[in-house]
Each structure stands twice: as structure tokens, then as C-alpha cells.
């Protein structure tokens, strides 16, 4: 059986949860229920479907758009924050779609940051570009990101001029964005690529009088000489050109040359595999997953969807060893938890204050857990995706406590988002198959909340020690039935509520809750 052969059996609830957990920021109970029994192919048709362009962020004070207005120096910091909270809310309110998680993937791949770019309008446009091409054609994406005003600022493409070529973007285009640092390109290749890329500039940067900003090619800043490349690129010579179309024509030639190297599609497929499946790429995975995916990528003219569809409906993806193979990123943990418990995103046109209360809360948790949206720490992205150990970098002496504090806050009932507590543990327990049975209750909860199955000994510990504090199980049945018969009796309500809250807090802090 080839690892990339399609898994065609109807999906169990656990398999549905696994697929949605990896391709979005976590399933809701309703999504698991309604998609159980479907095939992976059927579910992926929904996950890969085109999505409408979201409405732009609004200013919290004026309730008007600001991406299409002159730059506002006084409110620049606030508006950068609005863009980030707006994106957090898009994650929270996402439909059954790969789009948001792919947008985050590309923000870790084609990296910029708001501190360097320093124009919130540029950062918003960059985000819209990522989502526009997130599931589209990679070559078109690379061409567009090269001309993006935020990228021109971040990697000094706007300073790349004939006679004084700036090599920053040319280096990262090869090392991080396309062929990878092990792809065999040379320093001469970097210098030649920099010459190809001369002449692009952004316009309208931080302009307080004009709302228009963009990027443009200036022929008089472009190196019109021929550019020669190494054997890595088959000794290609890109013809020097002059005139208004020179920049785009040579950029097309440059991308065609880079994509022709077999290592380029494989490098992109490795990045996708590590983000969505597992950080450990063994020789078997390289041979039987990465290389065939790379060939498929090339065969489909570098369209992204066929690669994702093949990967996510593969026998390999549904191997049980893949479940729990990654540590949840802050977005997976925070957004996934809030989504599971039904946190809704208000319509900003109707309730803008509440809209930003929800978005600001989610974004603040991501930032403190070291995944600041639109602000990876450097051009390599977030450390968990490039340092040795990969996902393990999300857990450290600072973030472990913050993860626990986040989940504890949700269970106390003190935090209210959109006017109501995040978790109603009693209502949740009532939704389970048999809340009168303590063992069955624990089994249902851990099945819903955890990516991996617990041993019977673990479930017995959760039942008898954590939930029941060593009282006999039959006493739970009596307590629960007493509460159901007398829901307004404070003492009877608290007797079960406190036990359920303690259980939920414990599960949230388990190692098994930190993995996906």
C-alpha cells in the first residue's frame, strides 16, 4: 500500500475530528457530528471550496474602514491592533475551510512583520494577498508577493537599484521561499537574482494626504544586463530587458527557472508536511510522501489544492500514529478551544465594541503564548517551525504556565465574551450520551477534547480521583439526578458543577490536550 493512496472508508468521529483539527483551528461538536460517516474526499471538497473575501477591519471608534484612507500617524498603533484582532476573529468564526490555516501558514512562509513594515494599510493588504493566493497557484503567488508593498519594505526590495543591488530579497526568495537553503544555489545566483529584481518600489508609504498606495516598476532603476546562473539552474541566462515590462518579464523568467529545479516543489511540500502533519520527515516519508507530492505539484503547474487534497485524504494522514504527533500552536490551542465551546464573533457593523472585545482577548492570548499574528520574530518565521525540535518550541517555562492559566480562566465562569461565559459545563454535560454514568461521562469528554485515546487506567483516574474525589461512582448518579430534578437548588447545582469544573480544568492541563 502506497502512503499516498486515498483513504476511501467512511470517516469515524475521531477521524473527522483529526482532519478538521489539522486543517482548521479546531472542530466544533456540530462539525464532528454532521461530518461523521462522510469520506475524506467529501469533507475535503468543503474544506477546499472557495470562500468569499471577508469585510475589512473597522476603526473601533468611527466604525469605518481605514485601509482605504490616508495614513493616520496618531492612531497607527491602534489600527495595527485592529488588523490583528480582526484576523483573530476571522479564525474564530471560520467556516469549514482550510483558508484561515493556510493564510497563517503562508504568513510563516512569506514572512513580513508590522514593526518593520510600519504601515497598517500595508499589513492589511499583505494579509489579503496571503488569503487571495493561499489555495491558488504558487508561481502566481510568488510573483505577487515579490511586488507586495509590505514585502518590498520588509526585505528591502524597494532599495534594490541598478549599480547598488540589494541582495536581501533575492537571498530569501531562494533560501526560504522557494528552493530552500539545501537547494544548491550559490552566492553568484543570489547576486544575479538581485539584478533581475532591481526596479521595484512601493508608493504611498505612510502618506497622510493620499489614500492610494501600491507598488510599481521603475525602468530607470532596473539592471538591463543579462543575468547568468549556476549549474543548479542549468546555467540559465535571463535576458536583460528595458522598458515598462522588463521587471515583470524577468521576474517571470526567474520564477520559471527556480521552479524547474526538482528541489523547489519538494521544499514547499516539506514545509506543508511539517506544518500540517508531522515535523519528523524520515527517509521513508521523504521517498514515499515528499517526492511524489513534489512531482504532483509540478505536474499540476504548481497549483496548491491538488497537493493538499492528496495529502489530506491519504492513507498516511489517517494512520493513527499521526494523531497527536504535533504540539498545538497557540492558535490551535486558543482559537480551537474557544471554537469548541461555541464562542461567537459579533457582527462588527452591529456591535463593534463586542467584536473587538472578543478579537482582542483571543489575540492577546496568542501574543503572550509567543505567536504574535503578523509579527513572526524574524524572517524564518516562528521558532517552532524552523528550530530543531519544531513543535516542541511552543512549550517552554513561560508558555506552559500561560496555557494553563488560559484554560483555567475559561472554566471559572468569570470571563465573559460577547456577554456570556465561555464554558457552561452543566449544559455541556447534559449534551453527553449518559451524564448519570461517571465513567461514560469521562469517556465522552476525553473523546471530544483529546486527539489521542487514553488508557483505561487514565480514564479510571480521571473518573474516581479527579471527578469523584474517591467517592463511589453510584453517588455521582444520585447527585446528578438530584440536580436535574432540582436545577434551581443552589447546593445541588454546585455539587455537580464543582466536580465537573475540576475535571475539565484537569483535562485542559493534561499533556494530551496540548497535542493535535
How does pLDDT run across 319-331, given as a tens digit for each residue?
999 999 999 999 9
Q: Is the pLDDT of residue 143 over 60?
A: yes
pLDDT for 390: 75
Cβ atoms of 89 and 225 within 8 Å: the answer is no
Average pLDDT over residues 2-6: 96
For 349, residues 6+ apart whose C-beta sits below 8 A from its C-beta are: 58, 63
- How much of the chain exceeds pLDDT 90, in percent? 96
Closest CA to 171 of 147, 142, 202, 192: 192
Cβ atoms of 56 and 89 within 8 Å: the answer is no
pLDDT for 414: 81
Pairing of strands 237-238, 416-417: unpaired
pLDDT single digits (tens) 452-484: 999 999 999 999 999 999 999 999 999 999 999
* SS3 of residue 102 by DSSP: helix
Give the angle subtended at the CA of 422 by the CAs of 46 and 350, to the nearest 5°.
70
pLDDT single digits (tens) 38-78: 999 999 999 999 999 999 999 999 999 999 999 999 999 99
pLDDT for 384: 87
Q: Rounded to whole angstroms, how far apart are CA atoms 74 and 3?
A: 55
pLDDT bucket at 385, cuts 50 / 70 / 90: confident
Q: Is the pLDDT of residue 189 over 60?
A: yes
Average pLDDT, the chain: 96
Lowest mean pLDDT among 256-260, 301-305, 393-397: 393-397
pLDDT for 391: 79
pLDDT for 419: 86
pLDDT for 389: 67
Average pLDDT over residues 296-315: 98
CB atoms within 10 A of CB 285: 17
pLDDT single digits (tens) 218-261: 999 999 999 999 999 999 999 999 999 999 999 999 999 999 99
337 has which bridge partners? none
Residue with cell 452543566: 426
pTM, entire model = 0.96
What are the C-alpha distances in Å from 327 to residues 29, 260, 313? 21, 34, 22
pLDDT single digits (tens) 71-87: 999 999 999 999 999 99
Q: Rounded to whole angstroms, how far apart are CA atoms 378 and 459?
A: 42
Q: At what angle do helices 76-92 and 352-368 cross, to 10 degrees?
A: 90
pLDDT for 360: 97
Average pLDDT over residues 312-321: 97
Average pLDDT over residues 2-16: 96
Q: Is the pLDDT of residue 392 over 90?
A: no
pLDDT for 2: 93
Cβ atoms of 217 and 247 within 8 Å: the answer is yes
* SS3 of residue 137 by DSSP: strand
pLDDT bucket at 124, cuts 50 / 70 / 90: very high
Q: Is the pLDDT of residue 386 over 90?
A: no
Q: Is the pLDDT of residue 1 over 90?
A: no
Q: At what angle do helices 99-109 and 120-133 cross, to 10 degrees?
A: 120
User: What's the sign of the alpha-carbon dihedral 173, 175, 177, 180?
Assistant: positive
Amino acid at each position: 500500500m502506497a502512503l499516498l493512496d486515498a483513504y476511501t472508508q467512511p470517516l469515524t468521529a475521531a477521524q473527522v475530528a483529526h482532519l478538521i483539527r489539522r486543517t482548521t483551528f479546531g472542530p466544533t461538536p456540530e462539525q464532528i457530528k454532521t461530518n461523521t460517516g462522510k469520506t475524506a474526499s467529501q469533507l475535503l471538497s468543503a474544506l477546499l471550496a472557495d470562500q468569499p473575501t471577508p469585510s475589512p477591519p473597522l476603526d473601533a471608534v468611527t466604525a469605518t474602514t481605514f485601509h482605504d484612507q490616508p495614513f493616520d500617524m496618531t492612531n497607527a498603533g491602534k489600527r495595527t491592533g485592529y488588523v490583528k484582532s480582526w484576523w483573530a476573529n476571522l479564525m474564530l468564526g471560520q467556516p469549514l475551510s482550510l483558508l484561515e490555516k493556510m493564510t497563517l501558514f503562508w504568513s510563516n512562509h512569506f514572512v513580513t512583520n508590522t514593526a518593520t513594515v510600519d504601515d497598517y494599510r500595508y499589513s492589511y493588504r499583505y494579509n489579503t494577498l496571503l488569503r487571495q493566493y493561499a489555495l491558488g497557484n504558487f508561481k502566481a503567488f510568488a510573483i505577487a508577493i515579490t511586488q507586495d508593498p509590505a514585502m518590498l519594505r520588509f526585505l528591502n526590495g524597494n532599495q534594490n537599484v541598478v549599480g547598488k543591488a540589494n541582495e536581501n530579497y533575492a537571498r530569501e526568495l531562494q533560501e526560504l521561499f522557494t528552493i530552500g537553503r539545501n537547494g544548491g544555489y550559490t552566492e553568484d545566483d543570489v547576486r544575479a537574482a538581485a539584478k533581475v529584481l532591481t526596479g521595484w518600489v512601493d508608493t504611498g508609504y505612510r502618506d497622510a494626504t493620499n489614500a492610494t498606495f501600491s507598488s510599481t516598476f521603475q525602468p530607470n532603476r532596473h539592471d538591463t544586463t543579462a543575468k547568468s546562473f549556476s549549474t543548479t539552474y542549468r546555467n540559465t541566462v535571463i535576458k536583460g530587458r528595458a522598458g515598462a515590462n522588463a521587471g515583470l518579464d524577468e521576474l517571470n523568467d526567474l520564477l520559471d527557472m527556480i521552479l524547474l529545479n526538482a528541489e523547489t516543489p519538494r521544499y514547499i511540500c516539506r514545509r506543508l508536511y511539517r506544518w500540517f502533519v508531522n515535523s519528523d520527515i524520515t527517509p521513508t516519508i521523504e521517498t514515499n510522501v515528499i517526492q511524489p507530492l513534489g512531482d504532483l505539484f509540478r505536474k499540476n503547474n504548481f497549483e496548491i489544492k491538488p497537493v493538499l487534497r492528496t495529502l489530506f485524504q491519504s492513507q498516511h494522514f489517517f494512520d493513527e500514529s499521526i494523531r497527536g504527533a504535533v504540539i498545538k500552536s497557540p492558535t490551535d490551542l486558543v482559537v480551537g478551544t474557544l471554537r469548541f465551546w461555541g464562542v461567537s464573533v459579533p457582527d462588527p457593523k452591529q456591535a463593534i465594541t463586542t467584536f473587538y472585545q472578543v478579537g482582542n482577548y483571543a489575540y492577546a492570548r496568542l501574543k503572550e503564548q509567543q505567536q504574535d499574528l503578523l509579527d513572526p520574530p524574524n524572517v524564518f518565521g516562528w521558532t517552532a517551525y524552523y528550530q530543531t525540535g519544531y513543535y516542541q518550541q511552543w512549550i517552554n517555562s513561560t508558555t506552559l504556565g500561560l496555557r494553563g492559566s488560559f484554560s483555567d480562566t475559561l472554566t471559572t465562569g468569570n470571563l465573559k465574551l460577547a456577554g456570556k461565559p465561555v464554558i457552561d459545563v452543566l449544559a455541556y454535560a447534559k449534551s453527553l450520551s449518559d451524564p448519570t454514568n461517571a465513567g461514560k461521562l469521562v469517556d465522552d469528554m476525553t473523546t471530544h477534547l483529546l486527539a489521542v485515546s487514553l488508557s483505561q487506567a487514565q480514564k479510571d483516574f480521571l473518573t474516581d480521583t479527579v471527578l469523584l474525589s474517591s467517592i463511589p461512582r453510584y453517588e455521582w448518579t444520585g447527585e446528578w439526578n438530584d440536580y436535574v430534578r432540582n436545577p434551581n437548588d443552589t447546593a445541588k447545582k454546585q455539587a455537580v458543577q464543582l466536580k465537573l469544573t475540576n475535571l475539565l480544568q484537569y483535562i485542559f492541563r493534561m499533556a494530551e490536550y496540548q497535542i493535535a
